[in-house]
């Protein structure tokens, strides 16, 4: 079974530029999550989708971050304009149900550096 795919793997941009990340979850997984992980910290949930609807985006900085999952499959996360403090790894995860033997599966992440 293919895992959660993310691209790009790395991205370096200047502050005030825009950037987009892509995620393709495991086939059949209805729930998709975007997390931000700053170096040395645990992942912080940015947004959660159930199919193509937003379940929770309370921690998404909506003045600069946006995300969509139009067809309920893959998803994009955008930052516009980027700030220095946005430097982090952006992790995408997906889940099918609360299967205790499966958990939430994470992609390899996109490491963003804002200079």
What's the DSSP call for residue 76? E
45 binds other proteins (CB under 8 A): yes
41 binds other proteins (CB under 8 A): yes
Please state whether beta strands 110-114 and 10-13 pair in parallel, antiparallel, or not at all (unpaired).
parallel
Distance CA 80, CA 4 (A): 24
Least distance to other proteins, CB of residue 56, Å: 6
53 binds other proteins (CB under 8 A): no
25 binds other proteins (CB under 8 A): no
Phi, psi of 16, rounded to the nearest 5 degrees: 80, -5
44 binds other proteins (CB under 8 A): yes
Burial of 91 from C-beta contacts in 10 A (0-12 / 13-18 / 19+): buried
How many amino acids of this chain bind other proteins (CB under 8 A)?
29
> Which residues bind to other proteins, rule: CB under 8 A?
31, 33, 35, 40-45, 48, 50, 55-56, 59, 91, 93, 95, 98, 100-109, 111
């Amino acid at each position: 079974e293919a895992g959660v795919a993310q691209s790009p793997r790395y991205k370096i941009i200047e502050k005030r530029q825009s950037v987009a990340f892509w995620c393709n979850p495991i086939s059949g997984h209805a729930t998709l999550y975007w997390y931000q992980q700053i170096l040395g910290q645990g992942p912080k949930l940015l947004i959660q989708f159930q199919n193509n609807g937003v379940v929770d985006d309370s921690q998404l900085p909506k003045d600069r971050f946006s995300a969509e999952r139009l067809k309920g499959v893959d998803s994009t996360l955008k930052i516009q304009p980027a700030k220095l403090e946005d430097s982090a790894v952006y992790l995408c995860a997906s889940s099918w149900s609360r299967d205790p033997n499966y958990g939430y599966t994470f992609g390899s992440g996109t490491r963003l550096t804002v200079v």
